[in-house]
Every structure is written in C-alpha cells, then in structure tokens.
Amino acid sequence: MELSPTSIPIPIHPDAPGWFRDALAVEFEDRFVDLAGARIHYLAWGRPGRRGLVFVHGGGAVAHWWTHIAARFAGDFRVLAIDLSGHGDSEHRETYALDTWTEEVMAVTADGGVKDPPVVVGHSMGGFVTIATASRFGDELAGVIICDSPVTKPDPEIGSFQLREAFGRPRTYPSVEDALAHFRTVPPQEHYLDYVMDHVGRRSLKAVDGGFQWKFDRRIFEQFSSGTMRSIALPYLSTVRCRLALLRSEFGLVTPDIGAFMYEAMGRVAPVIEIPEAGHHAMLDQPVVLLTAIRSLLGDWEHSEPIGVPVTS
C-alpha cells in the first residue's frame, strides 16, 4: 500500500446545494495497492476499523463518480471507491478480464482497513464486476447492491463502442471547459444535475501534452467489442454466495422484464427496487434517492437474516 496526494482542488459548481458541498468536504485519502502487475488506485473515507462499504464505478467512469454518495456514509463506515484498472488513476493493462477486476475489488478491500465482510455497491459495468465478485468471493462479503446493470442485455458502454458513438480514439481538448462542454454519458439520459456533472467530469480528466483527455483506456472497449458483458456476467448471477439487491432505474436499462429475469436467476430471494425518475446513471440525476435506497438496504441488512444464501459470520 502507498499513500499519495494525487487529488487536486476541484472547484464546486455555484448551483451545488448544501448536502452536495458537505459530501465533497469530507476528507478522503488517495491510496494505492499493487495487483498482478498494475497499481490500483482507490479513495478512502472514514475511520479504519469500521465495517466496510466499497463502491465500483461503471465502464469509462472513475471512482469519483461515487464521491457525493460514498462520502455521506463516512460517519458510520470505512468507505472505499476503486478505480478499476484501465480507469481513473489506476494503471492500464495489456488485456482486461472480469475475474481480474474482481480480484482488484478484493485487494482494495483487504488493503483498505475495513472491519468484517464489506458490502459492495456496483453500477452498470461495475455491477457486472460486483456480481462476479459476489459469486467468486461471496463468503468474504456481507452483501452486494447492483445499480442498473442489465445482465440480459449487452453492456451499454461496450455496445456504444461498437457504434463508435462514445469510446473511439482519444480526443485532446484544449481546456477543461472545452472538455466539459463535450462531456456525455453512455447511454445518454434525459436529465442530469449540472453540479454533479461538472464535478464528475472534472475528476474524469487528465492533463496531457496539448490539453486534456478522459482517463479511461480505450483498449478496454476494443477488447470486448467482439462480445458482450452479458455473456461474461450471466453465468455468475445464479452462483452469488451472499445477499444481493438490484436497484433498477425507472428510465434506465434494467426494464421490468429484465428485472424479472434477474429476480428469477437470483433464486427469487433478492429484492428488485425501482429508483423513481432515474436514468441509467442515477448518481447523476437522482443521487439523493439513490443514497436513500442504499442506506435503507444497509439498515435492513444490519437487522435481518438473509434468505437462501449463507449467513456471513
């Protein structure tokens, strides 16, 4: 493990409300752990030795997409948010594999100072990583929460790469402001909160010769362009060995039919909960509702026993 002050001051959008400003004001650490030849970056909030809560971002995103959600739990948890290899401030690999990403999640958990098995929260592609983590390492987890990850459909980030709509060749922007003006999510959605988009956009950029680029490695999407994340994640869904809940965005990619399919595949014991008025990226348009849903699940799990899965001691 290595500590490194990689974070730089990021201006806050003038329209940001108090709760958002308070979340960004919570102190965090930039930390690193080495795994399989790559240096993996993650964020950490809260006092070490507490129960753990780990956040996993989607394809093309970074750990800081979770900051305004994750930091709100710092008073009760040791909270971690990973940059998967090929994303954010983690190193890139020659090839990427779902199992390697699951091992990165577990390495961060082991390094991050959590007490007892943690709960892992994953969004979109990060939800597929989280499902696989729960299948492979479920005995070491207290539970997982999946946010709008449509296991029965191709992953939206990868499908978009095939269409050359989003993750094509790197583009260099002359300024941060120009990059932010071109910031788009995949898939797009009808509503965003400007102050959230401004923050996650700034955190997703890196300085390069001649300007700024987005941090993710395009080779991830080149590698998976011949297949889909569905074909990789689906076999893990019925073999999850810990508690699991699915948060389905009302206007996201997990339609009611897909939610019903996943409910059956998960053995009819995992709740499927709709986030009202949310697009696929609920942390960008309905973060308070998403925060409340996660907090409610954690509160329930703390005082109840799981049905149909092993109880983690």
Identify whether the C-beta of residue 278 lies closer than 8 Å to the C-beta of residue 250: yes
CA distance 248 to 244: 13
Please say if the pLDDT value at position 7 is more than 60: no
- For 126-148, how does the pLDDT look when each residue is reduced to its tens digit (9 = 90+)? 999 999 999 999 999 999 999 99
Please say if the pLDDT value at position 228 is more than 70: no
CA distance 214 to 46: 28
Helix axes 229-237, 256-265, angle to 10 degrees: 50
- For 77-119, how does the pLDDT look when each residue is reduced to its tens digit (9 = 90+)? 999 999 999 999 999 999 999 999 999 999 999 999 999 999 9
- For 164-185, how does the pLDDT look when each residue is reduced to its tens digit (9 = 90+)? 455 566 789 999 999 999 999 9
Which pLDDT score, from 0 to 100, does residue 161 have?
A: 45
Helix axes 229-237, 125-137, angle to 10 degrees: 40
> Would you state the CATH architecture of domain 2-302?
3-Layer(aba) Sandwich (3.40)
Domain ranges of the chain: 2-302
